[in-house]
Structure 1
Amino acid sequence: MKKSKITLAFLAIIITTSFFGCDNKAKSTETTAVVKETRIFTDSSGREVTIPTDIKAIAPSGPLAQIVLYTACPDKLGGLATDFSEDSKKYFDEKYWNLPKFGQFYGKNANLNMEALLKAAPDIIVDIGEAKKNVAEDMDKLQEQLGIPVIFVEANLANMDKTYNMLGKLVGEEKQGEEYAKYCKSVIDKANDISKNLKDNEKKSVYFALGKEGLNTNASGSFQAQAIEVAGGKNVAQVEVASSGGGTQISFEQLSLWQPDVIIVDTDDLYNKIISEPVWQDLEAVKNKQVYKIPNKPYSFMGSPPSINRIIGVQWLGNLLYPDKYKIDINKEVKDFCSKFYHIDLTDEQIAEILK
């Protein structure tokens, strides 16, 4: 009887040990699985951020990020920074119209809705654009406030290829990212080749008219005016760069001294004002009918916001300034661009509407 009790006790120890051993293995496997579900991603500011391996929902930090993310991975958009305008809705699938709205982190209209972001619970938040002085600190602060990984991806006109390569790696679609990068690089390389072979006296001067009166402008060196220089133009506004996209204010006397070869404007009202009001008629660009309305569908070709549309904007402006150098069919280029980046097959009527 005593021997039997000892045997039973021994068996109980073995069973208990086995049970807890299995439990520990299960916990170990579970822990390993959690580790495998995340990875370290180094963003454009040099921050090493722990992000999910499989990213399914992304929140844009502002309009620029929204546009670029829509082109690169539309089905991963977990919300919008801002509503699509009524004019632009026709270029986007209806399923994206009513996504949650988060507002924007940067800019004069900064209104990021923390509550909406927390409710949507995206896998990551992505900021895309100019590398501001304190961008790393800003991203860290936002990440700490929300408990959601925040990634910064730099996007200048000249390096949009790097932007798309990084986005491809971020969302696990490297091949597609490389295709977008190749397209952007080919456009910029062609523009740079044309520009560097122009003599200084061959380069046309350009004034970018903004505001109700047309006397605000995006100065040379500003983020919003990059497309002018890349396309081979000379930005006449060698003035202080404004702190916002609203541009630097100038006087009409200053504009008269500059006498630009070409004037580009961002609204129909301003275009009509410049070509019709007497005060503008003394400018050579107006006399020579060299005033052009910048296409703005689905977004501005020049920089409002300064996003991927500037890639087609370089081709549009370059073709206006130097048609014998660019030698492109701008209608075809617009069709190809919108097919690739906005996932839409434009009709001839839609192309005409964009370019009118």
Structure 2
Amino acid sequence: MKKSSRFIAILGLTSLIILAGCQAKTATKKQTRTIADSMDHKVSVPTHPKRVIGSYLEDYLISLDIKPVVQWSVKNGTSRQDYLAKYLKNVPTINYDLPFEAVAKAKPDLILVGDNSAVQGGKYAQYNKLAPTYVVKNGAKVKWRTQLKDVAKAVNKEDKGQAVLKDYDQKLASAKKTIQTKAPNKSAAVLWVTNNSAFMVNDHAASGALLYQDLGLKEPELVKTISKNATADWMPVSLEKLTELDADYIFLVNSDRGAAMFKEPIWQNVKAVKNKQLYSYDKSSSWMYKGPIAYEEMIQSVLKVVK
């Protein structure tokens, strides 16, 4: 081959490589969508995110077939959502306050934040420099269904989100029918015991919302009283006050198996305890949380009790 022909061939090949590279970059740029988050940030999110951080939103992400690159934790990973462990094998933990260094190390292509307070004080701009940052709808009046739909919107899986809700509603309807048949007018309460102190879930949060609003179990008067002025999902309740708890069933999240309060006569005389209708779960259970996976696990626990 003549030198001039060889040169032209090489030049042509080089041009094709450069053109392909430009086209790839252009395609990459086009593979984003601009959407508004709950704080009205206009966010250019990946059309198909691959490395998502969604601290305390993992239940939603997993249900949408997305495995996050890190998982929420407290106290350097000693406390986390253990009921999700089978879905998050080998996924490292990240502290709940999302340290910037840890976020950067995870190399996310999308950061989902579940609370407005987490991005205040200039934090949003700092996170947004690391990756597109989307603040999911949140607040005391925002239901888990709304959050699931918003997460689905952010990761471009709205159809999957609707399918998850449809499947959940079918299971819920079946469970509710079983409860109405086998345990009509039965009441229930959820307690959490830690450090020899008791806390009661309020009626519009976490497992409380599931029991009373979704499943239609009767709400004890003590739960109503505590829920009226609730400032958190779980409110402290004294051992003496528990004597008023007339629940037919108690679902206990027991983080303190050796708690002295369990040996007290007052505790032994609580209606459900005395009637052997106390059902205890360890910290690996889903009773402390919310989301389609957590709620489906709780529904199965309730059905085992009322069968």
User: Common fold, TM-score beyond 0.5?
Assistant: yes
Matched, 1:261 2:253: no
Distance between the aligned counterparts of 2:262 and 2:166, measured in 1?
39
CA drift of 1:288 comes to: 0.8
**Amino acid corresponding to residue 113 of structure 2 in structure 1:** D
SS in 2 for 1:227: helix
Q: 1:260 to 1:93 in 2, by over 3 A?
A: closer
Cα displacement string for residues 45-65 of structure 1 (whole angstroms, at most 9, x for unaligned residues)? 5543221223111112x3x21
2:119 corresponds, among 124, 134, 138, to 138
Following superposition, the deviation at residue 103 of structure 1 comes to 1.6
> What's 1:294 paired with?
281
Q: Which residue of 2 aligns with 1:78?
A: 69
Structure number with higher strand proportion:
2
Query: Is the Cα contact below 8 Å between 1:218 and 1:241 reproduced in 2?
Result: no
Amino acid at match of 1:138: V
Instruction: For 1:190-269, list aligned pairs within 5 A.
Output: 190=174, 202-223=185-206, 225-229=208-212, 230-233=214-217, 234-235=219-220, 236-237=222-223, 238-239=225-226, 240-243=229-232, 247-267=234-254, 269=256
Q: What secondary structure is seen at the aligned counterpart in 2 of 1:241?
A: coil
Output the CA distance in 2 between the equivalents of 1:292 and 1:72. Answer: 31
State the Cα distance separating 1:118 from its structure 2 match.
Answer: 2.1
Letter in 2 for 1:145: Q
Indicate how the Cα distance of structure 1 residues 249 and 225 shifts in structure 2: closer, same or farther if over 3 A, else same.
Answer: same
Residues 86-107 of structure 1 deviation map (CA, whole Å, 9 limit, x = unaligned): 995995378x4253x4322xxx
For 2:43, give the aligned amino acid.
Answer: V
Change (3 A) 1:46 1:182: farther
Preserved contact between residue 260 and residue 284 of structure 1 (Cα < 8 Å): yes
Q: Quick one: which amino acid aligns to residue 122 of structure 1?
A: P
Q: Residue 33 of structure 2 contacts residue 44 of structure 2 at CA under 8 Å; is this kept in 1? A: yes
Distance 2:168 2:142 in 1: 9
Greater C-alpha radius of gyration? 1
TM (norm. structure 2) is: 0.69
The structural deviation recorded for 1:259 is 3.0
Q: How many residues align?
A: 274
- State whether structure 2 residue 23 is matched by structure 1 residue 50: no
Identity in percent = 19
Q: 1:65 to 1:257 in 2, by over 3 A?
A: same
Q: Is the CA contact 2:242–2:267 (under 8 Å) kept in the aligned structure 1?
A: no
Mapped partners of 1:70, 1:223: distance in 2: 18
Q: Determine which of 121, 126, 129 is the counterpart of 2:112.
A: 126
- The structure, 1 or 2, with the larger RCO (C-alpha pairs under 8 Å, 6+ apart) is 2
Indicate the residue corresponding to 1:153 in structure 2: 136
TM-superposed CA distance for 1:170, in Å, is: 3.2
Of the structure 1 ranges 50-59 and 182-191, higher mean CA displacement relative to structure 2 is found in 182-191
State which drifts further: 258-267 or 38-47: 38-47
From 39, 53, 61, give the equivalent of 1:59: 53
Q: Which structure 1 residue ranges, 5 or more long, are not aligned? A: 1-24, 105-110, 324-356
Measure how far apart 1:291 and its partner are.
0.6
| Runs (5+) with no aligned partner, structure 2 | 1-18
Distance 1:249 1:295, change over 3 A: closer
1:36-84 Cα offsets, whole Å, 9 max, x none, are: 2321123455543221223111112x3x213432343344x22233348
- Whether contact under 8 Å (2:112, 2:136) holds in the other structure is yes
Give the one of 271, 278, 281 matched to 2:265: 278
Asked if the contact 1:207–1:260 (Cα under 8 Å) also holds between the matched residues in 2, the reply is no
1:317 counterpart letter in structure 2:
V
CA contact (8 A) 2:196 2:256 kept: no
Residues 158/226 of structure 1: CA separation in 2 closer, same or farther (3 Å cut): farther
More helix by share: 1
Query: Are the counterparts in 2 of residues 160 and 181 from structure 1 also a CA contact under 8 Å?
Result: no
CA distance in 1, matches of 2:168, 2:141: 9
Cα distance in structure 1, aligned partners of 2:296 and 2:87: 22
Tell me, in whole angstroms, the C-alpha distance in 2 between the residues paired with 1:189 and 1:158: 22
| 1:281 Cα deviation from its structure 2 partner | 2.1
Q: What's the C-alpha RMSD, in Å, of the aligned pairs?
A: 4.2
- Please give the secondary structure, in 2, of the residue aligned with 1:81: strand
- After superposition, the Cα gap between the structure-2 partners of 1:161 and 1:152, relative to the gap in structure 1 and judged at 3 Å, is same
1:314-340 C-alpha deviation (Å, 9 max, x unpaired): 3422553x54xxxxxxxxxxxxxxxxx
**Deviation for aligned residue 1:150:** 1.8
